[in-house]
Amino acid sequence: MSTGFTVIRDNTPASVIPKGAVVAMGNFDGVHLGHRAVIGAALAMGKAHGVPALAVTFEPHPRKFFSPNTPQFRLTDETNKLRLLAATGLAGAVVMTFDKARAGTTAQDFIHHDLIGRLGISGIAVGYDFHFGKGRVGSPSLLVSEAPRLGIEVDVQAHVDIEERPVSSSAIRMALAEGEIGDATTMLGGPWFVTGAVIHGEKRGRDLGYPTANLRLDKHCGLKHGIYAVRVGLGSERFDGVASFGRRPTFDNGAPLLEVFLFDFKGDLYGKVLDVAFIGFIRDELKFDTIEALIRQMDDDSARARAALAAAPGAFPRLGAID
The pLDDT score that the predictor gives to residue 157 is: 98
Residues 284, 290, 296, 298: is their CA dihedral positive or negative?
A: positive
The pLDDT score that the predictor gives to residue 261 is: 96
Please tell me the distance from the alpha carbon of residue 92 to that of residue 86, in angstroms, as a whole number: 7
The pLDDT score that the predictor gives to residue 205 is: 67
The pLDDT score that the predictor gives to residue 209 is: 75
The pLDDT score that the predictor gives to residue 1 is: 34
Question: Among residues 241, 240, 320, 317, which one has the least CA distance to residue 30?
Answer: 317
Question: Among residues 278, 268, 275, which one has the least CA distance to residue 224?
Answer: 278
Contact 301, 222 (CB under 8 A): no
Helix axes 181-188, 169-177, angle to 10 degrees: 160
CA-based Rg of the chain, rounded to a whole angstrom?
A: 22
Q: What are phi and psi of 260, to 5 degrees?
A: -115, 125
Q: In a structure prediction context, what are the per-residue pLDDT tens digits for the chain, which is 323 residues long? A: 345 899 999 999 999 999 999 999 999 999 999 999 999 999 999 999 999 999 999 999 999 999 999 999 999 999 999 999 999 999 999 999 999 999 999 999 999 999 999 999 999 999 999 999 999 999 999 999 999 999 999 999 999 999 999 999 999 999 999 999 999 999 999 999 999 999 987 666 676 778 999 999 999 999 999 999 999 999 999 999 999 999 987 788 778 999 999 998 988 999 999 999 999 999 999 999 999 999 999 999 999 999 999 999 999 999 999 97
Contact 194, 232 (CB under 8 A): no
CA dihedral 194, 197, 201, 207 (to 10 degrees): 80
